Structure 1
Amino acid sequence: MTRFFLVRHGQKTTPDPLLVGRTPGIHLSEHGRAQADAIAERLGAEEIARVVSSPLERARETAEPLARLKGLKVETMAEFHETDFGEWTGHTIDQLAGVSQWRRYNEFRSATPAPGGETMLQMQQRFVSGMLTLRGRYPSQGVAIFSHGDPLRAAIAYFAGAPVDFWHRFEIGVGSISVVDLGDDCVKIQKLNDVPLPNP
Structure 2
Amino acid sequence: MTTFFLIRHAANDLVGHTLAGRMPGVHLNALGRQQAEGVAELLARAPIHQIFSGPLERAQETAQFLAKRMRLEVQTAEALGEIDFGDWTGLTLEQLAPVRQWQLFNSFRSGTRVPRGELALESQARMVVFLDRLRQQFPDQTLALVSHGDVIKAAVAYYLGIPLDLFQRLEISPASVSALVLEDYGPQILYVNRVAENAP
Tell me which interval the TM-score lies in, with the shorter structure as reference length.
over 0.9
TM-score, length-normalised on structure 1? 0.96
Partner of 2:61: 61
**Superposed displacement of residue 184, structure 1:** 1.0
Equivalent pairs, count: 200
Aligned AA (1:26): V
Measured against aligned partners, the alpha-carbon deviations of 1:104-136 in whole angstroms (never above 9, x if no partner) come to 111111111100001111110001111111111
**Superposed displacement of residue 16, structure 1:** 2.0
Partner of 2:192: 192
Looking at structure 1, the residues matched to 199 and 20 of structure 2 have their Cα atoms a distance apart, in angstroms, of 19
- Equivalent position SS for 1:117: coil
Looking at structure 2, the residues matched to 197 and 152 of structure 1 have their Cα atoms a distance apart, in angstroms, of 21
Matching of residues 41-56 of structure 1 within 5 Å = 41-56=41-56
**Percent of aligned pairs with the same amino acid:** 44
Native 8 Å contact 2:38 2:199 kept in 1? no
Matching of residues 27-176 of structure 1 within 5 Å = 27-176=27-176
**Superposed displacement of residue 14, structure 1:** 2.5
RMSD: 1.2
Looking at structure 2, the residues matched to 98 and 170 of structure 1 have their Cα atoms a distance apart, in angstroms, of 24
Looking at structure 1, the residues matched to 137 and 48 of structure 2 have their Cα atoms a distance apart, in angstroms, of 13
Looking at structure 1, the residues matched to 12 and 69 of structure 2 have their Cα atoms a distance apart, in angstroms, of 22
- Equivalent position SS for 2:42: helix
Looking at structure 1, the residues matched to 160 and 17 of structure 2 have their Cα atoms a distance apart, in angstroms, of 28
Partner of 1:177: 177
Looking at structure 2, the residues matched to 33 and 146 of structure 1 have their Cα atoms a distance apart, in angstroms, of 14
**Superposed displacement of residue 198, structure 1:** 7.1
Looking at structure 1, the residues matched to 42 and 169 of structure 2 have their Cα atoms a distance apart, in angstroms, of 25
Looking at structure 2, the residues matched to 106 and 16 of structure 1 have their Cα atoms a distance apart, in angstroms, of 15
Native 8 Å contact 1:174 1:199 kept in 2? no
- Equivalent position SS for 1:182: strand
Looking at structure 2, the residues matched to 88 and 19 of structure 1 have their Cα atoms a distance apart, in angstroms, of 7
- Equivalent position SS for 2:193: strand
Native 8 Å contact 1:174 1:198 kept in 2? no
Which structure 1 residue ranges, 5 or more long, are not aligned? none
Native 8 Å contact 1:31 1:199 kept in 2? no
Looking at structure 2, the residues matched to 118 and 97 of structure 1 have their Cα atoms a distance apart, in angstroms, of 19
Native 8 Å contact 2:38 2:198 kept in 1? no
Looking at structure 2, the residues matched to 11 and 132 of structure 1 have their Cα atoms a distance apart, in angstroms, of 28
- Equivalent position SS for 2:145: strand
Native 8 Å contact 2:9 2:174 kept in 1? yes
- Equivalent position SS for 1:191: strand
Looking at structure 2, the residues matched to 183 and 190 of structure 1 have their Cα atoms a distance apart, in angstroms, of 13
Looking at structure 2, the residues matched to 185 and 24 of structure 1 have their Cα atoms a distance apart, in angstroms, of 39
- Equivalent position SS for 2:18: coil
Looking at structure 2, the residues matched to 83 and 186 of structure 1 have their Cα atoms a distance apart, in angstroms, of 26
